[in-house]
A = this chain, B = another copy of it.
């Protein structure tokens, strides 16, 4: 019973258990008593989205978000236009499976300045917003770690994400706070407070930072394995008004290599003890 209560806000990203296909994720998360999941888009390819929605309902699983849209900037205007189309497709998919949110990895083009990329991100989001609102799907800017500034996101601090969200100023645009990307920032507590004040905390992602980190993409840790004060940051988000799902998003060759059912047990344990 205690366990059940404790897992109420637990959400797992399908990419966390990458070896599993979508229907295995749905079946196994349900079996493990995990009430929420976030779905990565590539798992929806060649799927009947009505059946996906039904499978989620049958297993009492709520979709927190569809991951991921974004990638707005490019030196090429036609590539920027294609990005808008691709994002509209993501919004369609989110609507079809009942996901209330699309997470945006905003993008960057190494051939232009970060300022130019940020202005193209703003333009992209503003172009997309009417479509998102029509579909009743919200959008979350996810500031990424500065080590991804070259080609993945020109938005690398919560302050920049706050600036952008407040500039666009629409109830359908907010922010996904991921401890992995933001833990190093001594402005984090202050910026989380600000984010909450503007009702912009749309999502909260957790994992841990390992030392050494041997790969820039796929060497994340389970909460408690590394340096991030996950629980402290979670409390900051709650003080700022956030009560949504706590999303476990871990990319790890090491953890993808173990038995994924055992891994779900470890995730629940780490969620209870360190999150």
Q: Is there an interface contact between B113 and A212, defined as CB atoms closer than 8 Å?
A: no
Given contacts A156-B184, A160-B186, are A149 and B213 in contact (CB under 8 A)? no
Given contacts A113-B229, A114-B186, A184-B156, are A212 and B147 in contact (CB under 8 A)? no
| Identical copies in the complex | 2
Contact with B along A134-163 (1 / 0, CB 8 A): 000000000001110111000011001000
Contacts of A210 in B (CB 8 A): 150
Expressed in whole angstroms, the Cα–Cα distance for A165 and B229 within the complex equals: 26
Contacts of A184 in B (CB 8 A): 114, 146, 149, 156
Q: Is there an interface contact between B150 and A212, defined as CB atoms closer than 8 Å?
A: yes
Q: Is there an interface contact between B213 and A147, defined as CB atoms closer than 8 Å?
A: yes
Expressed in whole angstroms, the Cα–Cα distance for A147 and B209 within the complex equals: 10
Contacts of A157 in B (CB 8 A): 186
Q: Is there an interface contact between A150 and B110, defined as CB atoms closer than 8 Å?
A: no
Q: Is there an interface contact between A211 and B151, defined as CB atoms closer than 8 Å?
A: yes
Contact-residue bracket for chain A: 20 to 34
Nearest B residue to A160 by beta-carbon distance?
B186
Nearest B residue to A228 by beta-carbon distance?
B150
Contact with B along A70-91 (1 / 0, CB 8 A): 0000000000000000000000
A20 CB, nearest partner CB in chain B, Å: 27
Contacts of A110 in B (CB 8 A): 211, 226-227
A-B contact pairs, 13 of them (CB 8 A): A110-B211, A110-B227, A114-B184, A114-B227, A145-B147, A146-B185, A147-B147, A149-B183, A149-B184, A150-B209, A151-B211, A151-B212, A216-B216
Q: Which 6 A-B pairs have the closest CB atoms?
A: A150-B211, A110-B211, A149-B184, A151-B211, A146-B184, A147-B147
